């Protein structure tokens, strides 16, 4: 069930809290007991006077409650909203990114409406994913576009000509983890990507993933030099492609695609996952690797009994009307 997603886990939130913010937010925690354990919503305000929000940021691919949210009754959700409403900044509550199909979202939204909140859902980002059918990697690979399959085959031939190469996949703390982290950071520093705003987040996540059993950190080396690195996180039957990078200037070797194909085979045939998830973004290349697309959403809740909530609801509604009007008017 979706309450088992790793982005809902205490371990994820712990690393995010420790290493994931340039400026520490004001944090809030509300909780409610169920017969199966405690359900928590971790919330924050960016600063004093700001509205209440999910404890999430650009590192978060999903947000949700920790604990057995499926076991929380309607009265339990109402109790959580009562506790949230007592927090500073709660006239406006903004949660993102969310899986709109997850049952807890509808339960929370219903409870918010029962406490005089008006709620709005809005688009956050596209999410490409691949269900894994019987036949594993071989069946999946046969269905990929021929251009992608040929690109990976050419990449392997070019790597063979360029010298000895190998792919290592670290999965636990005993797999020379610090060397793998160093290789990942070396590749990332020489890639096209901008430096991480929080340098401690990725090493912290990799160490957390190793402890939790999520880690699949792949590194492709040519002549001993790391050219491509990817962090995948495997949990509850799902492989999440979290970060990828390759050294700028080696595009002709297709090192990134070769590494992706190898990790895809690993999670499908060894880990036997049910789904592979490319997480956030509508990058064009993801459609070659994944068969399906869904959307992640945000939830804005505005308390109409309080002036800041009423104003936020009015601004959001006017903004929606303005955007729709622009699409209707010729030349707008």
- Walk along the chain (332 residues) and give the pLDDT tens digit of each residue: 344 699 999 999 999 999 999 999 999 999 999 999 999 999 999 999 999 999 999 999 999 999 999 999 999 999 999 999 999 999 999 999 999 999 999 999 999 999 999 999 999 999 999 999 899 999 999 999 999 999 999 999 999 999 999 999 999 988 799 999 999 999 999 999 999 999 999 999 999 999 999 999 999 999 999 999 999 999 999 999 999 999 999 999 999 999 999 999 999 999 999 999 999 999 999 999 999 999 999 999 999 999 999 999 999 888 776 666 666 655 54
Can you spell out the DSSP letters for 210-268? HHHT-EEEEEEEETTEEEEEEEEEEETTEEEEEEEEE-TT-GGGTHHHHHHHHHHHHHH
Q: What is the DSSP letter of 192?
A: S
Judge if 2-126+294-328 and 133-273 fold alike in CATH terms.
Answer: yes
Per residue in 16-63, pLDDT (tens digit) is 999 999 999 999 999 999 999 999 999 999 999 999 999 999 999 999
Cα–Cα distance for residue pair 229/246, rounded to 1 Å: 6
**CATH placement of domain 133-273:** 3.40.630.30
pLDDT digits (tens, 9 = 90+) for 136-172: 999 999 999 999 999 999 999 999 999 999 999 999 9
Domain assignments of the chain as residue spans, ordered by start: 2-126+294-328, 133-273
Specify which residues 98 forms β-bridges with. Answer: 297
Token pair belonging to 303:
């308390």
CATH of 2-126+294-328, one of 3.40.630, 3.30.470, 1.10.20, 1.10.10: 3.40.630
Note the pLDDT of residue 174: 84
Give the integer Cα–Cα distance in Å for 237 and 132: 10
What number of CA atoms fall less than 13 Å from residue 274's CA on the CB side? 5
């Amino acid at each position: 069930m979706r309450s088992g997603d790793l982005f809902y886990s205490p371990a994820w939130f712990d690393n995010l809290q420790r290493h994931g913010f340039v400026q520490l937010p004001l944090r809030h925690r509300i909780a409610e007991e169920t017969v199966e354990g405690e359900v928590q919503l971790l919330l924050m305000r960016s600063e004093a006077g700001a509205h209440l929000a999910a404890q999430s940021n650009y590192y978060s691919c999903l947000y949700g409650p920790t604990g057995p949210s499926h076991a929380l009754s309607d009265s339990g959700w109402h109790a959580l909203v009562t506790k949230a409403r007592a927090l500073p900044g709660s006239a406006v509550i903004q949660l993102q990114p969310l899986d709109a199909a997850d049952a807890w979202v509808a339960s929370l939204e219903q409870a918010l409406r029962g406490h005089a909140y008006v709620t709005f859902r809005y688009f956050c980002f596209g999410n490409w994913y691949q269900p894994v059918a019987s036949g594993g990697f071989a069946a999946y690979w046969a269905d990929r576009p021929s251009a992608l399959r040929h690109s990976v085959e050419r990449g392997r031939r070019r790597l063979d000509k360029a010298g000895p190469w190998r792919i290592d996949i670290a999965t636990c703390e005993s797999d020379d983890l610090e060397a793998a982290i160093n290789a990942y950071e070396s590749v990332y520093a020489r890639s096209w990507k901008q430096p991480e705003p929080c340098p401690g987040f990725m090493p912290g996540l990799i160490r957390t993933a190793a402890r939790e059993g999520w880690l699949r950190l792949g590194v492709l080396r040519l002549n001993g030099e790391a050219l491509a690195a990817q962090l995948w996180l495997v949990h509850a039957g799902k492989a999440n492609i979290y970060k990828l990078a390759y050294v700028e200037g080696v595009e002709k070797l297709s090192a990134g695609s070769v590494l992706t194909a190898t990790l895809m085979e690993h999670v499908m045939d060894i880990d036997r996952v049910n789904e592979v998830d490319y997480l956030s973004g509508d990058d064009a290349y993801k459609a070659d690797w994944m068969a399906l697309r869904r959307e992640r959403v945000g939830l804005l809740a505005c308390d109409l009994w309080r002036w800041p909530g009423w104003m936020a609801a009015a601004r959001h509604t006017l903004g929606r009307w303005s955007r729709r009007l622009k699409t209707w008017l010729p030349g707008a």
